[in-house]
């Protein structure tokens, strides 16, 4: 359930990877979130953001730039985020699938945005990887519905498979708008897709 670093020879020549390294970001995924945010306007100044599956921390770096010193962000991942982040951004080592949302809200309050770039440790078996990714997406959606304020936003990654229409229906049930989106930075042939839910419905 972590985003693995690019390590093979091809990846080291990837333009987005090289750009991220030159700009001191923890990973190329920052540009995907940047593109999502520019299109859907999810993250605002002084906002409160929860980042699920936050390692290695590039999304939190982007979030920090957007929310400013008066916002707050919390990142959760199985692996420790080792990069330096502003004092108003907190990270926790933990399993998102075991997250107690009531305790989370009691401690931190509700959030304006929930993000998830969670992905399974891939097996190379396409159907199995898709199914596991869909399960992680549903976990992220469940957390979002539990911790978002009314009107809050959600964006999460999934490897698009046979249950994709069901996932879209699940998001539509909880949000006023639901849009699938494939960032330009996605590699050709990738099953990766993002789903954005805007404006959490009131319970």
Q: Which residues are catalytic?
A: 157
64, 38 in Cβ contact below 8 A? Answer: no
Rounded to whole angstroms, how far apart are CA atoms 159 and 172?
A: 19
What values do phi and psi take at 128, rounded to 5? -70, -40
Orientation angle between helical segments 126-147 and 101-108, nearest 10 degrees: 50
Tell me the DSSP string of 64-111. Answer: HHHH-TT-EEEEEESS---S---TTEEEEE--GGG--HHHHHHHH--E
Nearest Cα residue to 158 out of 55, 52, 40 = 52
156, 179 in Cβ contact below 8 A? Answer: no
Length of the chain: 203
């Amino acid at each position: 359930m972590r985003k693995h670093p690019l390590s093979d020879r091809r990846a080291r020549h990837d333009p987005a990877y090289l750009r991220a390294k030159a700009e001191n970001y923890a990973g190329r995924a920052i540009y995907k979130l940047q593109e999502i945010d520019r299109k859907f306007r999810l993250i605002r100044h002084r906002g409160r953001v929860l980042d699920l599956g936050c390692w290695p921390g590039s999304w939190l770096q982007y979030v920090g730039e957007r929310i400013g010193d008066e916002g707050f962000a919390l990142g959760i991942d199985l692996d420790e985020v080792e990069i330096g982040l502003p004092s108003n951004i907190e990270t926790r080592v933990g399993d998102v699938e075991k997250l107690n949302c009531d305790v989370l809200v009691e401690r931190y309050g509700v959030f304006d945005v929930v993000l998830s770039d969670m992905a399974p440790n891939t097996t190379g078996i396409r159907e199995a990887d898709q199914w596991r990714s869909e399960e992680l997406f549903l976990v992220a959606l469940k957390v979002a519905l539990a911790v978002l304020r009314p009107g809050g936003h959600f964006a999460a990654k999934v490897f698009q498979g046979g249950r994709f229409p069901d996932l879209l229906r699940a998001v539509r049930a909880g949000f006023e708008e639901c849009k699938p989106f494939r960032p330009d930075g996605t590699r050709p042939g990738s099953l990766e897709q993002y789903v954005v839910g805007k404006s959490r419905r009131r319970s």
